[in-house]
Amino acid sequence: MNTHKVFVFGLALLGASLLKAQSVMDTYKAVFTSPPQHVPTTKTPDAPLAGNGDIGITMGGTPDKLCFYIGKNDFWRAYPVYPGGIALPGGLDITIDELRGASYHAEQLPGSAEITAKFSNTYCELKLSAWVAATDNKVVIELQSNKVVTARLRLWAAEGNTSTTAQGLGKVMWVSRSFENTELLRWPTHVALALNSSTDELSLVPGKKMQLVVSAYTNHDTPDWKNKAIAEAGKVSETTIEQLRKKHHVWWNNFWKQSHINIGDSYFEKYYYQSQYLFACSSREGKFAPGIWGPFVTRDEAAWGGDYHLNYNYQAPYWGAFSSNHISLTDNFDQPLLDYMEAGRKHAQELLDCRGIYYPVGIGPKGLCTAMWPLTPEEMLEKYATRENTIDGGYKFLGQKINAVFSVGNMLMRHYSTYDKAYARKVYPYLVACADFWEDYLSLENGRYVIHMDHFNEVMPNKRNGGIWRNRLGDFNSTLSLGLVRMLFQGVMDMSDFLSVDRVRQSHWQDILEKLSEYPLGTTEDGRQSLKNMEKGPQNKDVQPSGLNRVSIHGLILPGGVAGPVTDAKFNAILLNDVAHWADKQRDPNDWGNTSNNGIETCYPGAVRVGYPSDKILSYLKKRIEMNVYPNYWIVQGGGGIETFAAVPLTINEMLLQSYEGVIRVFPNWNRGKDASFENLRAYGAFLVTSAFKQGEVQGVAILSEKGRICKIENPWKGQPVQVTRGNKKSDILYGEYLQIPTAAGEKIELNLYTNQ
């Protein structure tokens, strides 16, 4: 068999499928046969969703009383205590009495990025399409009825929570909502919604499609936010809508062409692509970063303020985007962290007498802290069963010093994935500020660096513990902290080399890496070695090994990336054994890894990386999904929202391609009896990788080198020679377990099994 020809043919088929991205992706649609039950909500909505990474729409209500909730990532009540945080701008109600009791059928289409619906009863049938323009601040809703019916329209702004509202009617209908002049408000936010209608009643007639367009702007978009929303709504025409539609389809087609997988499993492929659709609806380059619930906010007082929760919730939604080659979706991640640096330096100096930055658990945009304790002792007593509201200067650090470093993981993922010099220059000061802090905070004792009082879990007073919490302080050498600190110093050294700066500091950073305490291990009752959450607990107490779990995965694997089969095979074997015993500790038979509250996006890809069998992981993952998922394919967990969008894409990508230890591995954890293929998954080193696995053998590997770095790849054909092809010309024949291949920027190379034919 000529392996090279077979591989190229396989890639041609993949390319052809991507040319039909929209129609192919729409086959992975979500179908709704009844109205949503969890809208409005302070958490995850179960309704049809669409968005453009800034504006999101949630279609609530019944056929006769539809409500489109309009959320926006930059509409915040910039108040430092909950219920500060993300807020709801408003929405559009569409009431059609003739549809009372109508059947409900809606679809969420990832390819065309729209919601379609059909409602019918014995009197009439209504068809609906709703989408958020990918390249504009507009929501488009199209209605068509087979009978004459009247649609009553109500454009509304949410009220309360110290906001002020206004409305007007002229050529268009408009409403506005503002947060300003409230004591302690850090900055004002205004939003205007304008509808291209001068009347609140719309007559639908057979054969004619009626198009409603809502234009939405905040003062963070433009100083002229209200006039711009009104003016643009007034300019809407069929021509402008068609122009918007074309740009919308171009954007989404290009998005779906950025990468592709085929694993022969329609169930997981649907979750893979719907999850990526939902994240692309939630995050966009040049816009405010999404909070815990993205732009799908359906009422004020969203849980945890819908803020940027820094001990994993904020970081996790982005994890699947790096390897899926959707880098632009990650572009907004860094700005809130950079904006908070001045405050972080003040916290470090005033609270811990350290240089560098020290971040609380929750922040928002533009230097906002969302996570302060209640401002009065009385409110503190009511909510947390203690009057002490001056803990840590009034800020919620919750016993954790590591919050700022958590985000370094995402910065390093992007750096290693792109080797973009401009990006490295942008975030390097943040990494150095984290290094400054930990140089001061680490303690050198008996020849090793140790970490005092940085806690594995959040520690805080609450009503359950009667407001008593200090007896829970005292973690020593938390596994989470040891992993993330190791990640930090290795990463800052790598970026220092890449930018050719701060070389004089590297000897100290290297000393920290060499002398940092080892990860704590213990012996279980059945005599096996197992990971401990920390070396010692509060009051210097011994702790029993609890095995690899969600929080320790954060330190070691995601985002830590400091453990694995190449880094330390012996230690990885211990972690793999811990994963093999997860079933022993399940609280629910369908909840392997105990992720019902948090961690589905962490535990499952973590299990892949340490080498647990892929088929078992997928079997457990399916049970966990079915345990709590909504019809819109949003996997639900108790402690957070959009982070679950990373769960399936990241788990599948890690089975097909890994590169986090500086070595590319194709199909590293894939059932050798199942065919699969992928195109343009992104590997560390700024490589785009394409490969296919068929009949138990890798068919070939194509690699596009963006930056001309040396490509180190594990031999896909163990123990056999590999033919390298450059520019359609065969070049080297390589041997060995690991192949090191020099590349040039923009060069495409192919690897195939050498057959001597």
State residue 20's pLDDT score: 59
pLDDT digits (tens, 9 = 90+) for 55-90: 999 999 999 999 999 999 999 999 999 989 999 999
Instruction: Specify whether the CB–CB gap between 256 and 619 falls below 8 A.
Output: no
Instruction: Specify whether the CB–CB gap between 590 and 624 falls below 8 A.
Output: yes
Q: CATH 2.70.98.50 residue ranges in the chain?
A: 33-258
- What's the rounded Cα separation, in Å, for the pair 509 and 492? 9
Q: How far is CA 256 from CA 21, 158, 324, 728, in A?
A: 6, 35, 10, 27
Confidence of residue 757 (pLDDT cuts 50, 70, 90): low
pLDDT digits (tens, 9 = 90+) for 338-348: 999 999 999 99
3-state secondary structure of 324: coil
pLDDT digits (tens, 9 = 90+) for 369-421: 999 999 999 999 999 999 999 999 999 999 999 999 999 999 999 999 999 99
3-state percent breakdown (helix, strand, coil) of the chain, nearest 5: 35, 25, 40
Crossing angle of helices 479-499 and 421-441, in 10° steps, is 130
DSSP string, 696-750: TEEEEEEEEESS-PPEEEE-SSTTS-EEEEETTEEEEEE-SSEEEE---TT-EEE
State residue 533's pLDDT score: 98
CATH fold label, 33-258: Beta-galactosidase; Chain A, domain 5 (2.70.98)
> H/E/C letters for each residue in 46-63?
CCCEEECCCEEEEEEEEC
- What's the rounded Cα separation, in Å, for the pair 593 and 615? 16
- What's the rounded Cα separation, in Å, for the pair 399 and 186? 25
Percent of all residues in the chain with a pLDDT value above 70, rounded to a whole number: 97
Asked if residue 8 has pLDDT above 90, the reply is no
pTM: 0.96
pLDDT digits (tens, 9 = 90+) for 28-38: 999 999 999 99
State residue 756's pLDDT score: 78
- What's the rounded Cα separation, in Å, for the pair 598 and 607? 15
Asked if residue 9 has pLDDT above 80, the reply is no
Residue, of 192 and 728, whose pLDDT is higher: 192
Beta strands in 138-259, from DSSP E residues, in sequence order? 138-145, 149-157, 164-169, 173-179, 189-195, 201-204, 210-218
The two three-digit tokens of residue 309, written as one number: 């929760």
pLDDT digits (tens, 9 = 90+) for 284-337: 999 999 999 999 999 999 999 999 999 999 999 999 999 999 999 999 999 999
The residue whose two tokens read 């990508």 is 653
State residue 21's pLDDT score: 75
Instruction: Specify whether the CB–CB gap between 368 and 186 falls below 8 A.
Output: yes
Say which CATH superfamily domain 3-11+672-753 falls into: Golgi alpha-mannosidase II (2.60.40.1180)
Confidence of residue 236 (pLDDT cuts 50, 70, 90): very high
The pLDDT of 209-218, averaged and rounded, is: 98
State residue 349's pLDDT score: 98
pLDDT digits (tens, 9 = 90+) for 98-107: 999 999 999 9
The pLDDT of 186-208, averaged and rounded, is: 97
Q: CATH 2.60.40.1180 residue ranges in the chain?
A: 3-11+672-753
The pLDDT of 175-191, averaged and rounded, is: 96
Q: What average pLDDT does the chain have?
A: 96
CA-wise closest residue to 314 among 406, 405, 395? 406
The residue whose two tokens read 């065969």 is 730
The pLDDT of 734-744, averaged and rounded, is: 97
State residue 416's pLDDT score: 98
The pLDDT of 581-609, averaged and rounded, is: 96
Confidence of residue 633 (pLDDT cuts 50, 70, 90): very high
From the centroid of its chain, how far is CA 130? 24
Confidence of residue 23 (pLDDT cuts 50, 70, 90): confident
The two three-digit tokens of residue 253, written as one number: 């087609």
Crossing angle of helices 647-656 and 600-610, in 10° steps, is 10
Crossing angle of helices 506-515 and 421-441, in 10° steps, is 60
Confidence of residue 1 (pLDDT cuts 50, 70, 90): very low
Q: What is the CA radius of gyration of the chain?
A: 27
- What's the rounded Cα separation, in Å, for the pair 658 and 665? 5
Bridge partners for 309 per DSSP: 362
- What's the rounded Cα separation, in Å, for the pair 367 and 388? 25
Crossing angle of helices 403-418 and 421-441, in 10° steps, is 150
CA-wise closest residue to 189 among 220, 166, 167, 168? 220
- What's the rounded Cα separation, in Å, for the pair 404 and 427? 13
